[in-house]
Structure 1
């Protein structure tokens, strides 16, 4: 590549030329005198062509030559051979060290500096008797502003700088590739290498799992076992607060940021049916599901006949009783409602009903009859309606009327319970109530309140020979919008295996008195003698459920229908006309069911 002649070397212009032995610039006038012979410029040979040096043209003298009144014929240049060793610099030689023309055979001024030029120089011989001229300084072509040198010339001029630049560019490119791999590589297919199937972390599928009630330590072992057996999958378990959980869950799913797996109450299916993925038959078909879990699960965990959840636990209403009080009375837990009604009256202190009303109750025989301080009044009332052959969705019928009357009479006529007492769980833990209804998980609260209380649970009393019990439990579902539905169902199938359920129960028992009752029917024998969960599992095959499940905190179908039944119970206790109570109740329940698409 040719460089544009710098302006400082154009004809008629003076230029600063670096000396051979110094960096101090001198002018051409300091180099030569008018009487000194001048050197004609020799064209540069590039690619076989003669390229004139900057500032000269063929047939003209160089801008560095002195003007002469008479043009002299050109003198044939003398070829100067490169010396084998560098000549001493002119500026550093003493007079005695300076070589003579005879010693070198050439004018010293014509000796090129090896490190600065590869061009050979020529000059006419000096006139006799004249002083040898000072060696001319060979100019270095200055860089003209705005004109870049060739890239290879720049690299040769400063190789360290360019090596640093190249290495930096390679490092930056590597970092960019690594970042892009981490961002976009997560959804990639695991790469099989050799005989192994170990994917890189960027290829892992991370499944977010929203849980309730259970701390991370409970699932730590079973999750670690699953991840070890499935290295391409990672489970991110996150414990959620029950406060506004259902709303937060559905909001997250709707926004596309919901968990892949989540816990939900079995009674929430009408509210979540658009968010729940269908259980593939390849994971578990309907026959396997029905033979593995209790019948209530197949009824509740389905949408249009398609299964939408897997239960890894079960719970339901049971009768709690104070063993010391019943032993003192010499009685066993009642098996029918008639026996329960009589025993509740006998265990209430004081014994006289009139005194109870006037002076208050010192010890309740059974926590039942109102809504203000009976923790699970809705479940108890739903149980009575179902056992009486009624349908909680159709309150206007006789079966519901009779159940309401029977329930409220424990307070209105028998006075075995009072709104002046603490809530049922606290009253039972203190020994202020001989019996109460609650699911198994209330036992943990009781043990915390009174670890020395001697109590147990019993199966629910029945109205007739047809056994009907009440179930209220949680299941695990898969987000319909999840990108990893097959992996999510595979993990849930793993959680519902008998071996893993036993591990979970053992881990749960390390952080509290006992674990969650098994949802598998083939594990009932392991817990049937347990004083807290044995009765739950004995009742499980006969359990039914509906949208009167308390303590689900759904702010939806359960809580809304419970509110209408609460108003109805209190209206009956205050003496309001039953027909009016039932009409209002029927309208309210129908409205809620219509809101969630459950109107028959």
Structure 2
């Protein structure tokens, strides 16, 4: 009797096992994600880009298509106006581009509708060792990689060498204290106390380009935590130092001091900061490499030097190494029916040889462009260390971080809106308001924005 029951039980288990594995073969088990498979026939990829012309991108496409004649890539340089909103809506529709450029800070907000980079194309270890840490931090969401960079950019201190020489200053500032002293020394006022030559462009919001990036950098230097990584709660307004100081408010106070009081070196009457610098009316500005290119285009005769941003002195007497990043990356739409080909193409154009070719193309197709994009790969960064303009951006890249304080991202519902809140906070402090109260108001508005976006 027991023997018959045992046979019956074994028979049931065998039948159940056959039924289970017939319906759940290895490729469709839920805990083993599928990798996208290449299409057997001809493939057309739609690629939305920003900033780079078709003439700059087409050589990369042509080179890829030589080895992949069945793949056609149609590149379209899009207008930045309403691009974020358009891309966000298209990513959930059948009309999504296969490949799209996006700002690094958009990735967490868009990742639900982006395709993850297959490990067969590039595993996480290779990705993390190839690109800068800030790329890994923002492109990786819940252990999945959603973008590859074709560039890098950040902030550098850019100064007018002629004005430095005139003031008897031989070297740029290494620390923020030195920066403050030099900015005051380089400031020239008329008999009525009006600034006719600014020592540096900072302190206000409405006429300082990339003021929000600079404010973010100052907060990083002061140890501010922008957001709780687990809860998503905004925290930059309430980061307290071990000795009880509000480090976010301190950063705002430090920034705004340059536009008020006895130490004022800048004011709104001087106009837009980059244009004023190009006209020789400002001794120092903080600028991304593309802003620096704008300055050189506007006034090729200007003696311009780019150097590392000031740092803080460590207890041991050295200097900190904390920098700010803001740049664009390429991703693949979840809706794309050709994810395998799209990721293969992106891997191809971010390889060493192609990035070197891209740099050469960019600088030869535009006679006025003195340099191309900064390489996003760490293994070829040394090639730019001797570059007259790009060296400080490259040396700062390994220790760069970022958050939603980035300028000129053309995303009305994200960085741009947040920049508006910060602008109001800065204006309030310049006009005598409390830095802590002003920052709290900005933080509440940003939190409300995030809560609305996450609904």
Same fold (TM over 0.5): yes
Unaligned runs of 5+ in 2: 1-36, 227-233, 240-245, 314-318
Residues 1:318 and 2:318 aligned together: no
Alpha-carbon distance in structure 2 between the residues aligned to 1:383 and 1:219: 32
Alpha-carbon distance in structure 2 between the residues aligned to 1:528 and 1:240: 32
Alpha-carbon distance in structure 2 between the residues aligned to 1:468 and 1:593: 26
Residues 219 and 453 (structure 1 numbering): CA distance in 2 closer, same or farther, change over 3 Å? same
Counterpart of 2:112 in 1: which secondary structure? coil
**What do the CA deviations read for 1:500-559 (whole angstroms, capped 9, x no partner)?**
000000111121221000001111121111122111001000000000011101112211
Counterpart of 1:420 in 2: which secondary structure? helix
Structure 2 equivalent of residue 402 of structure 1: 250
CA contact (8 A) 1:396 1:586 kept: no
Which residues in structure 2 correspond to 1:521-600 (within 5 Å)? 521-597=378-454
Structure 2 equivalent of residue 90 of structure 1: none
Q: TM-score, normalised by structure 1?
A: 0.64
Structure with greater helix share of residues: 2
Unaligned runs of 5+ in 1: 1-186, 191-202
Alpha-carbon distance in structure 2 between the residues aligned to 1:577 and 1:344: 24
How many pairs are equivalent?
395
Structure 2 equivalent of residue 225 of structure 1: 63
Residues 1:417 and 2:266 aligned together: yes
**What do the CA deviations read for 1:256-296 (whole angstroms, capped 9, x no partner)?**
10110010000111321222111111111111011111111
Report the alpha carbon displacement of residue 302 of structure 1 after superposing the two structures with TM. 1.6
Structure 1 equivalent of residue 207 of structure 2: 373
Residues 1:360 and 2:194 aligned together: yes
Alpha-carbon distance in structure 1 between the residues aligned to 2:250 and 2:39: 62
Counterpart of 1:206 in 2: which secondary structure? strand
Alpha-carbon distance in structure 2 between the residues aligned to 1:428 and 1:189: 53
Residues 1:214 and 2:52 aligned together: yes
User: After the TM superposition, which of the residue ranges 364-373 and 408-417 deviates more from structure 2?
Assistant: 408-417
CA contact (8 A) 1:222 1:500 kept: yes
Alpha-carbon distance in structure 2 between the residues aligned to 1:546 and 1:188: 36
Residues 1:346 and 2:185 aligned together: yes
CA contact (8 A) 2:161 2:303 kept: yes
Report the alpha carbon displacement of residue 498 of structure 1 after superposing the two structures with TM. 0.3
Residues 1:433 and 2:282 aligned together: yes
Residues 386 and 579 (structure 1 numbering): CA distance in 2 closer, same or farther, change over 3 Å? closer
Alpha-carbon distance in structure 1 between the residues aligned to 2:399 and 2:207: 28
CA contact (8 A) 2:49 2:78 kept: yes
Kindly report the root-mean-square deviation, in angstroms, between the aligned alpha carbons of the 2 structures: 1.7
Which residues in structure 2 correspond to 1:131-146 (within 5 Å)? none
Alpha-carbon distance in structure 1 between the residues aligned to 2:149 and 2:342: 14
Q: TM-score, normalised by structure 2?
A: 0.84
Greater Rg by CA: 1
Alpha-carbon distance in structure 2 between the residues aligned to 1:459 and 1:594: 36
Alpha-carbon distance in structure 2 between the residues aligned to 1:472 and 1:488: 24
Alpha-carbon distance in structure 1 between the residues aligned to 2:152 and 2:54: 20
Alpha-carbon distance in structure 2 between the residues aligned to 1:345 and 1:224: 53
Report the alpha carbon displacement of residue 305 of structure 1 after superposing the two structures with TM. 2.2
**What do the CA deviations read for 1:307-352 (whole angstroms, capped 9, x no partner)?**
10001100001111112222332321111101101001001113xx
Runs of 4+ in structure 1 displaced over 6 angstroms? none
CA contact (8 A) 2:352 2:380 kept: yes
Alpha-carbon distance in structure 2 between the residues aligned to 1:538 and 1:586: 32
Report the alpha carbon displacement of residue 579 of structure 1 after superposing the two structures with TM. 4.4
Structure with the greater relative contact order (CA < 8 A, sep ≥ 6): 1 or 2?
2
Residues 189 and 388 (structure 1 numbering): CA distance in 2 closer, same or farther, change over 3 Å? closer
Structure 2 equivalent of residue 49 of structure 1: none
